Amino acid sequence: MIDLKLTEQDPHAPIRYQYAVEDVLYTGKSPYQEFAVVTNPFFGRMLLLDGVVQFTDRDEFYYHEMMAHVALHAMPSPRRVIVIGGGDGGVIREVLKHPSIEQAYLVDIDPEVTRISREFFPAVAAGLDDPRVIHAPMDGALFMRQFEGHADAILVDSTDIIGFATSLFTADFFDRARAILGPNGAFVTLSESLHFHFEMVRDVQKTLASVFPRVDLYTAPLATYGGNWWCFAVGTNGLDLRVPARETVTPTRYYCGDIHRSAFLPEFLYRRLMEEGRKGF
Ligand code: SAM
């Protein structure tokens, strides 16, 4: 075993996560980011982009299920979904579990992510060749400007809110998403951790609220994301995502109706989050 220690370079975290590394399976670069695939005795294989953990064999399903299933279960029969980022295929795999899905766009700026996921994370990449998946390797903001038609859900599974991912967190981008969603559509984007990025979470909510008639926030416990109490920011044209509209699709390992209902922030905490100047609850 190589006695390597991997210290994560999370741009916003006040602490550093360190992982033992057994093997380095791959390192490489694309025009967009640096890649590493390593193995850790507890988490198994881990994908890092620019030194930040994206997901691991052991715990990827928590995030991918919570990114896909809350919005989609709040709808009776979602047909068309757009996933921005998520080139590894984890969110797409979950989206495809909904029997009503007819088209799932996968819009990741970097095709190298998909290639690496296929090679090293076949269980995560399992849905990438499904005939309902439409691959659009390009910037998500450009895709949304060019996209014509409606979608039931737009799910943003990007890297942290820095660099080329920042184009996915602007009022213009959110406004484009609002226009693409029908009256019962939903927009969901990751928005960092309530423990470490409280003000950033508030900023995303404020920007969403400047565009969408209804906004909300739910969370999930993610062991390998800085701050662990990970946020999913929601914008809709009126649809309330807090109540699942149907039975849970199978199989899931974490998401279920009870998790869905309990994941949303209680009203009093949401009000505190939105108080200007607050740095925590
Ligand atoms: N679940 C991970 C997380 O929350 O950190 C994200 C996984 S996924 C690998 C992140 C993806 O976002 C990367 O593949 C990256 O290429 C993509 N991405 C970042 N900015 C993008 C943009 N502007 N348009 C499309 N994809 C983008």
C-alpha dihedral sign at 194, 200, 205, 208: negative
Q: Give the residue-averaged pLDDT of 104-128.
A: 98
**Whether residue 195 has pLDDT greater than 90:** yes
Could you tell me which CATH class the domain 60-273 is placed in? alpha beta
In sequence order, which residues have a C-beta less than 8 Å from that of residue 279 and are 6 or more positions away?
A: 198, 199
Does 159 or 200 have the greater pLDDT score?
200
The predicted structure's pLDDT at residue 1: 47
With CA atoms as reference, report the closest residue to 157 among 119, 106, 122, 220.
106
The predicted structure's pLDDT at residue 42: 97
Of 96-105, 162-171, 196-205, 268-277, which gets the smallest average pLDDT? Answer: 162-171
Residue identifier of the C-alpha nearest atom 16 of ligand 1: 110
- Residue 219 bridge partners (DSSP): 231
pLDDT band per the 50, 70, 90 thresholds, residue 11? confident
**Whether residue 182 has pLDDT greater than 80:** yes
Q: Is 108 in the pocket of ligand 1 (CB under 6 A)?
A: yes
Q: Is 190 in the pocket of ligand 1 (CB under 6 A)?
A: yes
Question: Which of ligand 1's atoms lies nearest the C-alpha of 113?
Answer: 14
Sheet-wide strand order for 23-29: 23-29, 34-40, 44-49, 52-56
The predicted structure's pLDDT at residue 3: 55
- What would the pLDDT profile of 23-82 be if each residue is shown by its tens digit? 999 999 999 999 999 999 999 999 999 999 999 999 999 999 999 999 999 999 999 999
Percent of the chain predicted with pLDDT > 90: 89
pLDDT band per the 50, 70, 90 thresholds, residue 234? very high
Contact 86, 92 (CB under 8 A): yes
Ligand 1 centroid – CA 1 distance (Å)? 31
- Phi and psi angles of residue 14, each rounded to the nearest 5 degrees, phi first: -80, -5
**Whether residue 198 has pLDDT greater than 80:** yes
Which one of 4.10.93.10, 3.40.50.1000, 2.30.140.10, 3.40.50.450 gives the CATH number of domain 4-54? 2.30.140.10
Q: Is 192 in the pocket of ligand 1 (CB under 6 A)?
A: no
Counted residue by residue, the chain has a size of 281
**Whether residue 2 has pLDDT greater than 60:** no
pLDDT band per the 50, 70, 90 thresholds, residue 154? very high
Instruction: Name the average pLDDT for the chain.
Output: 95
Q: What is the residue extent of each domain of the chain?
A: 4-54, 60-273
